[in-house]
Amino acid sequence: MEDVTSSNPNPTYSSFYMLELYDGGDSIEYVFKANGKLFVISIDATDLSGPGSLLEEFNSLRRDSDRFNEFEDWFLEPADDFIRSVAPALKSRVRQSITLLNYYKCESFQLKLKNEAGQLRAIQQPHTQQGNESYIPRLKVVDNAQGVDFHWYDKHQRSIPRSALAGVPRFLASEIERVDDGLRDIYLDDMPCEVRQIGTDRVLFFKGTYDGCQCSREIKMLSRIGQSTKKLIATAPAYVTAMRTSKLVGIVMWDDEESVMGLLLEYVEGETLYQLLWEEEHMDRIIGPASKTKWATQIESTLRYLHGIGVIWTGAWTANVIINSDNDAVLVDFGGGAAPAHIPLESFYTAEGDLLGLKRIKEDLNLDLSDMPPPSKL
């Protein structure tokens, strides 16, 4: 194997994004994108034995979370020259639009770090993406739901029943491109979120799918919301804008059309309620009590309507509320992932759990609940 160790002690990248850091005890695998390419760098404690203090440095750095940046530099430095040679910085190449398929199916390289004469060396290894890596959003479509359910403790289900996709519009990953308008170079390797279908101007939100249970649930809940919205348009159009949730546009398929990459949702421009409250506490951002009361009332009204049509949110906390450009509260994330700490597991998939989450949101907003106006009835 070729020794590709760097002589440059200060690696820099025009764009960089960590996809996964796997700590296996005596081994670590670091997966990241840099300058448009994918890299997998691994290290095993047994390969650090020998001259010098590499093994001691490795153990010291990895055990101290406050020194992560130092550990990252230690980890990446030996591979810097190689990364620069196979993934030149943006100024050395032409910036191009990228599709979801391009992003997740890019050229990839694997390196292994070893101790050679007391120096940390990066050795290139054969590497081919299998497509089922944990950092790749891919769910295999199966013809039955065996092994796929909605329990909170089922993790890393990498399949989804074909029946869960029935009636949902499909888009190929090669047809969906990232929206680069105004995107700084440093963010070019970040996971694409703002996307659009090639040849159109409509901005959508891409949500990668890594768990079949959560994906199935989110499709089911959002489809039910969509069907109810259509009925409201016909019977009570004034209420349509009052039900503020994420909206399902379709699913993104890998180009083999047998695997799901993710969901396409209507794009909601704004910031999460969690972020706004954090800025209020730490950055002296001013949020008036009228806005807080408005948001709490909107969240409760939407939530009670959802319960009326058989939809349980399960995502009842401030990180799953977006305050949009109209200063309205929009509920997002209906996949039913891990339960927030303030909702008991036995209540997670129930209306009671949602209402416990709502109570916590009101507390986070620091509202006097006795002065709250009643929620509107949709």
Query: Residue 308 — pLDDT band, cuts 50, 70, 90?
Result: very high
Q: In this predicted model, what pLDDT tens digit does every residue of 179-214 receive, in sequence order? A: 988 888 888 899 999 999 999 999 999 999 999 989
| DSSP state, residue 339 | P
Torsion over CA: 122, 123, 128, 134 (sign): negative
Residue type present at position 162:
R
Four-point Cα dihedral 212, 213, 219, 221, nearest 10: -170
pLDDT digits (tens, 9 = 90+) for 111-134: 999 999 999 999 999 876 665 688
Neighbours of 190 (CB within 10 A): 15
Which is it for the CA torsion 155, 156, 160, 161, positive or negative?
negative
Question: Among 250, 253, 248, 286, which Cα is nearest to 268's?
Answer: 248
Burial degree of 167 (CB within 10 A; 0-12, 13-18, 19+): exposed
Cα–Cα distance measured from residue 141 to residue 149, given in angstroms and rounded to the nearest whole number: 14
Is the pLDDT at 221 greater than 60? The verdict is yes
Least confident of 145-149, 216-220, 302-306, 328-332: 145-149
CB 15 within 8 A of CB 34: yes
- Burial class from Cβ neighbours inside 10 Å (0-12, 13-18, 19+) for residue 173 reads buried
Write down the pLDDT at residue 185.
84
Question: Rounded CA gap, 303 and 44, in Å?
Answer: 49
Q: Is-contact 37 108, C-beta < 8 A? A: yes
Mean pLDDT computed over 22-42 = 90
Q: What is the pTM of this model?
A: 0.86
Query: CA torsion, points 289, 293, 294, 295, in degrees to nearest 10?
Result: 100
pLDDT-above-70 percentage for the chain: 85
Name the pLDDT band for 6 (thresholds 50, 70, 90). very low
Q: Any idea which residue has 């440059």 for tokens?
A: 8
Both tokens assigned to 41: 């760098």
Coil, helix or strand at residue 88: coil
pLDDT of residue 148: 46
Average confidence (pLDDT) over 48-55 = 91
> In a 10 Å sphere around its CB, with 0-12 CB exposed, 13-18 middle and 19+ buried, how is residue 10 labelled?
exposed
Domains of the chain: 16-125 (no CATH), 139-266 (no CATH), 270-371 (1.10.510.10)
Mean pLDDT of the region 221-226 = 95
Instruction: Tell me if residue 179 falls in helix, strand or coil.
Output: coil
With beta carbons less than 8 A apart as the criterion, state whether 159 and 140 touch.
yes
CA distance 138 to 105: 11
